[in-house]
Structure 1
């Protein structure tokens, strides 16, 4: 029995919860997937999967077993890829996951230049706010906002991700400019929908952080759509400074400073992070992408050099 192949099949079945999807990933019949895993179960003397005519899932022992072998399989795959690319031009598929707004506004323009520089790297870009597991989801690089990620992942900070309240000059002329958190309840709010819920606005006053009651006029999980509505004088928008930069520079939107801090989280260190596994950084395609994106999007990127 080819035990390594059986383990690779087991990992894919566990991740997809489907023999047929695993079979398509490897380009083999589903019966081959099932037979190899059955041989592995026979060798171990335990059932790794619960099978029914409609579903497949790991047994309790199967989950424990997979947890132990997954990291080893990932390291072996990385080692094979590293040796294969050691003496060659960076090439092959590169999977990148990024938040939709950041991806559209900043990442995609940078990747157009990256593709020109490294034409043999095939970019596979997924825009989503959902959390990712770099190893399990086979993502080479992720860009996410929030707190400092877990220790096993290398996290390089791209931006402090400060939030700013903004509106069009016409909207403020027609509806007035809010001065305090309490003033916001009389205004129309353009609000962002996260993976699980609408992101509430949080304000800091003398009693601490609290949710600020506002009246939603438009809700979307697309930052570009929120910007477009703000440009059309439809309400106040609370977005990251990097997302507002172009509209502020053109004068289509202006900052709306308040007497108290306003954000989408209750303080603490936050940021936009470029995430990758240290073991994969040694692979040329991953290394050149990390360094390129840090130079293009990281702190100080785009600033004029001192004269």
Structure 2
């Protein structure tokens, strides 16, 4: 490594590249924005290559910068883990842990665990990002990503936290007024509140026995949303029937504010059962802070 290419310059480059913002990198490292810009300009000069395109509202990587980012990030991660081993952090987890989770799941099941986790490991700082967008932990530099549904990243390690179980339910007032469906075939006659995300309307699937395939039931209603909690709130107000995972509905089911329907049928939001996983790059498992967090998730039984 050239003497003019400093570690802080590399860390600043990674932060700017992943956040797309010099100002965000400056805030993160507690530096003036001018200092960040100057250090990265120095890095580019030392390399003899342009790494970033600078625009008024955004910053993006050049082709050279994209390749350099992957290599630099891996070097920094390996350096941090080596330092962790030497400093004794392997037996005393410490440092910054970056966790990403879907919005509703993170709010309900990950955020409530952080106080006890950090009380147990006071030297670990947590950066929790909640988003329903697809997150690549390698690209985003996340240590652990909670992902719900099918997994396609063969290069990543996945630990299943739970199998996702769906339930159709409605408020007592709705069922008292409109009756309870006795089979999925009766759902089209009901007001079904349907989630509509980036892939369109979420289908509703049912099967009578676990050894039979799921079949889709076409439902409709007077409210659709890309926010699951908004639909749950409408159902609580007696507006209609919803189909969602039990991890989203459990508090209302337990309190009797929502009542399950079609108990004799197994429900799903996909044609096959899906799981809830913690995924991470393989090298992250060597980090004691990641291992500690995964152990805490297992012990806390975050889903029901």
TM-score normalized by the length of structure 1: 0.79
Asked whether the equivalents of residues 203 and 260 of structure 1 are also in contact (C-alpha less than 8 Å), the reply is no
Asked whether the equivalents of residues 161 and 275 of structure 2 are also in contact (C-alpha less than 8 Å), the reply is yes
Asked whether the equivalents of residues 227 and 237 of structure 1 are also in contact (C-alpha less than 8 Å), the reply is yes
Assess, with a 3 A threshold, how the Cα gap between structure 1 residues 13 and 106 changes in structure 2: closer, same or farther. closer
Assess, with a 3 A threshold, how the Cα gap between structure 1 residues 220 and 269 changes in structure 2: closer, same or farther. closer
Q: Distance in 1 between matches of 2:192 and 2:140?
A: 35
Asked whether the equivalents of residues 201 and 262 of structure 1 are also in contact (C-alpha less than 8 Å), the reply is no
Residue equivalent to 1:129: 132
Asked whether the equivalents of residues 178 and 258 of structure 1 are also in contact (C-alpha less than 8 Å), the reply is no
Residue equivalent to 1:221: 227
Asked whether the equivalents of residues 160 and 278 of structure 2 are also in contact (C-alpha less than 8 Å), the reply is yes
Could you say what secondary structure the match of 1:185 adopts? Answer: helix
Residue equivalent to 1:202: 204
Write out aligned runs for 1:279-294 (5 A): 279-294=283-298
Q: Distance in 2 between matches of 1:39 and 1:79?
A: 27
Aligned residue pairs, count? 297
Find out whether 1:188 has 2:188 as its counterpart: no
Residue equivalent to 1:305: none
Find out whether 1:237 has 2:242 as its counterpart: yes
Could you say what secondary structure the match of 1:156 adopts? Answer: strand
Asked whether the equivalents of residues 165 and 267 of structure 2 are also in contact (C-alpha less than 8 Å), the reply is no
Find out whether 1:117 has 2:120 as its counterpart: yes
Superposed displacement of residue 236, structure 1: 0.4
Find 2:218's aligned residue among 209, 212, 220. Answer: 212
RMSD (Å) for aligned C-alpha atoms: 3.4
Superposed displacement of residue 193, structure 1: 4.9
Q: Distance in 1 between matches of 2:118 and 2:58?
A: 41
Assess, with a 3 A threshold, how the Cα gap between structure 1 residues 47 and 138 changes in structure 2: closer, same or farther. closer
Residue equivalent to 1:165: 168
Q: Distance in 1 between matches of 2:95 and 2:71?
A: 28
> Structure 2, unaligned stretches of length 5 or more?
none
Name the stretch that deviates more: 130-139 or 229-238: 130-139
Find out whether 1:264 has 2:269 as its counterpart: yes
Asked whether the equivalents of residues 149 and 155 of structure 1 are also in contact (C-alpha less than 8 Å), the reply is no
Q: Distance in 1 between matches of 2:54 and 2:123?
A: 41
Find 2:280's aligned residue among 276, 281, 284. Answer: 276
Assess, with a 3 A threshold, how the Cα gap between structure 1 residues 268 and 127 changes in structure 2: closer, same or farther. same
Could you say what secondary structure the match of 2:140 adopts? Answer: coil
Find 1:148's aligned residue among 136, 148, 151. Answer: 151
Name the stretch that deviates more: 202-211 or 167-176: 202-211
- 1:226-283: per-residue Cα shift (whole Å, max 9, x none)? 4443333221011112333343344333322288765322x23411112233323333
Residue equivalent to 2:37: 34
Assess, with a 3 A threshold, how the Cα gap between structure 1 residues 60 and 110 changes in structure 2: closer, same or farther. closer
Q: Distance in 2 between matches of 1:43 and 1:285?
A: 34
Name the stretch that deviates more: 160-169 or 277-286: 277-286
Residue equivalent to 1:46: 49
Assess, with a 3 A threshold, how the Cα gap between structure 1 residues 232 and 36 changes in structure 2: closer, same or farther. closer
Q: Distance in 2 between matches of 1:192 and 1:273?
A: 22
Residue equivalent to 2:260: 255
